Amino acid sequence: MPVPLPSKTPVADSIGVFDSGLGGLSVLRALHRQLPQAPLRYLADSANAPYGDRSEAFIGERSQRIAQHLLVQGAKLLVVACNTATAAAVASLRERWPALPIVGVEPGLKPAAAATRNGRVGVLATTGTLRSEKFRQLLARQGDAVQITAQPCPGLVDLIERGALDTPELRAMVERCCAPLREAGVDTVVLGCTHYPFVQHLIAAAMGPQVQIIDTADAVARHAAQLWQASGAAHVTDDRAGDAVRLETTGDVAALRRVAASWLTFRCEVNGSDA
């Protein structure tokens, strides 16, 4: 049932961003590049990550709860920085808050189809994203002009969530995920999960130098920035220069603090969350 937005919140307006865990930080950093002064709030649902093998009902429930949490904290624009949560929940979020601008993410098949030279594209994503109705529709929109090989990567998000980005275990997992794409002869690989840009160096090494990698984080951030600038809330950015970006996690606060310090180049304040 549609719910009106709180008309006046006692907290400052902000852009709320969430993911199952750390992956959405790849979207957050792109958003920070676009809007360095915007008040950004990020929630990592690391206590419940990965979402990739969860039911749509579970992801839907978590997404509703997290969105509500971010709204109470003043979010006037919501970025669902997770392909799996977008596939499972963005429609129900839009139904519940029809007045709230909501940006989702989906595997970049369209830019990949434009970029491929040999007509063969690989998609790396979670099982949940690849089996979703949304992905089926996305594939159908591409038609037959391009041959798409979709490769689920169960376990990859768990390893990235541990925070170390160059372990032998991670290399072996990336190699296993990329092998079928190499066999299919793809020349373009879509990163269909927001965690994967953090292991792009390993994917590039496994695929070889002639293979292009498509990450839509910058395009998503540009779209979100346009919506933010068009919204009445953007005025708050003027006096926000230098404020830390606020990160929250339902998981281990110290782990997120470590990751933020090594993966992000801007100042963050990290807290726990009971969302």
**Active-site annotation, residues:** 82, 193
Is residue 157 at the binding interface for ligand DGL, with CB under 6 A as the rule?
yes
At position 20, the amino acid (one-letter code) is S
Residue 213 Cβ vs ligand DGL, minimum distance, rounded to whole Å: 15
Size of the site for ligand DGL (CB under 6 A): 17
Phi and psi of 82, rounded to 5°?
Answer: -150, 120
Residue with smaller CB distance to ligand DGL, 62 or 76: 62
CA angle at residue 31 from 28 to 37, to 5 degrees?
110
Is residue 83 at the binding interface for ligand DGL, with CB under 6 A as the rule?
yes
Q: Out of 23, 60, 101, 108, which residue is the one contacting ligand DGL (CB under 6 A)?
A: 23
Is residue 63 at the binding interface for ligand DGL, with CB under 6 A as the rule?
no
Which pairing describes strands 40-44 and 120-125: parallel, antiparallel, or unpaired?
A: unpaired
Interface of this chain with ligand DGL, residues 188 to 207, rule: CB under 6 A: 193-195
Residue 173 Cβ vs ligand DGL, minimum distance, rounded to whole Å: 14
Is residue 50 at the binding interface for ligand DGL, with CB under 6 A as the rule?
yes
Residue with smaller CB distance to ligand DGL, 119 or 163: 163
Interface of this chain with ligand DGL, residues 120 to 139, rule: CB under 6 A: 126, 129
Is residue 187 at the binding interface for ligand DGL, with CB under 6 A as the rule?
no
Is residue 20 at the binding interface for ligand DGL, with CB under 6 A as the rule?
yes
Q: Segment contacting ligand DGL (CB under 6 A): 15-23, 92-100, 181-189, 254-262?
A: 15-23
Residue 210 Cβ vs ligand DGL, minimum distance, rounded to whole Å: 26
Q: Segment contacting ligand DGL (CB under 6 A): 10-18, 76-84, 144-152, 167-175?
A: 76-84
Instruction: Give the whole-angstrom CA distance, residue 228 versus residue 35.
Output: 9
Is residue 116 at the binding interface for ligand DGL, with CB under 6 A as the rule?
no
Residue with smaller CB distance to ligand DGL, 105 or 178: 105
Q: Which residues bind ligand DGL (CB under 6 A)?
A: 19-21, 23, 49-52, 82-84, 126, 129, 157, 193-195
